[in-house]
Amino acid sequence: MAGYREHVTVSTLLGIGYGAAGVWGWGMTPYQGIMAACLTGASGMLPDLDSDTGRPVREMTSLTATAAAFFTMQNITLKHGLTEVGLVWAVIIYLLVRYGGMWLINKLAVHRGMFHSLPALLIASQLALMFYPSNDLRVKIMMATGIGLGFLSHLILDEVYSVQWNGLMVGLKSSAGSAVKLFSSHWLPNLFTYSVLAAITYFNLQSIGLWQPPEQLIRIQEAMSHALERY
């Protein structure tokens, strides 16, 4: 299994290349390129949120909580211009992700479980597409793709390190195939992961206009929205 240093090195180098390509190849601003590079580099450690070792978990939960709080504040400010409301929600989101999220992960996740999987990669990417504070869809897609690349580098590196060489003979460790996978051996993590993926995919497809929900579902959403406005 690749270690912390290897994952950070590979994803950081990948992020630098991706950010540079965004600026010189896709017409992004230098600041957008830097942000894409940072997200790509940081996401190289996202699968290890389920790790039972200290350093990756501490650093990634703090970074994830900070990013979630920042994106929340920016989104509220962009849509409503309410800076104080954004700050309050940023603090709430930080505490929920930093402490509540870690408690939930420790209770439910196992190392090399569904956090190390292709569906988890899609969830991480689509969360960036959903919450990144920009009105430009191209920018949101670039950031989401960067997170997916960093995440994928972690999975591939774990698989590479599962190969053992003994002279000219090649063997596989017991961890081979446990990173780049679609399903785990337990049905409950699979159900939870794919339910989350389906919900996020539905939201994103609807928000960017690629899928129009049935009329009955629209009425249910409107009724729920009106009920929430009353309270």
Q: What is the pLDDT of residues 37-82, one digit of tens each?
A: 999 998 988 887 766 555 666 677 777 788 888 878 877 777 766 6
Instruction: Record the pTM.
Output: 0.76
Q: What is the pLDDT of residues 185-217, one digit of tens each?
A: 788 888 888 999 999 998 888 887 766 666 655
* Residue 12 binned pLDDT confidence (cut-offs 50, 70, 90): very high
220 located within any domain: yes
214 located within any domain: yes
* Residue 231 binned pLDDT confidence (cut-offs 50, 70, 90): very low
Token pair of 197 as six digits: 């993926």
104 located within any domain: no
The answer to whether the beta carbons of residues 110 and 176 sit under 8 Å apart is no
Q: pLDDT at position 35, please?
A: 94
DSSP secondary structure, 16-84, as one string: HHHHHHHHHTT---HHHHHHHHHHHHHHTTGGGGG-SSHHHHHHHHHHHHHHHHHHHHHHHHHHH--HH
| Distance, CA of 40 to CA of 14 (rounded, Å) | 7
100 located within any domain: no
The answer to whether the beta carbons of residues 45 and 59 sit under 8 Å apart is yes
Residue 7 pLDDT > 60: yes
Give the total number of structural domains in the chain: 1
211 located within any domain: yes
Q: pLDDT at position 39, please?
A: 93
* Ramachandran quadrant class, 177 (left: phi over 0; alpha: psi -120 to 50; beta: rest): left
Q: pLDDT at position 183, please?
A: 87
215 located within any domain: yes
| Distance, CA of 226 to CA of 231 (rounded, Å) | 9
74 located within any domain: no
78 located within any domain: no
Find the domain containing 142 and state its range: 4-51+111-230
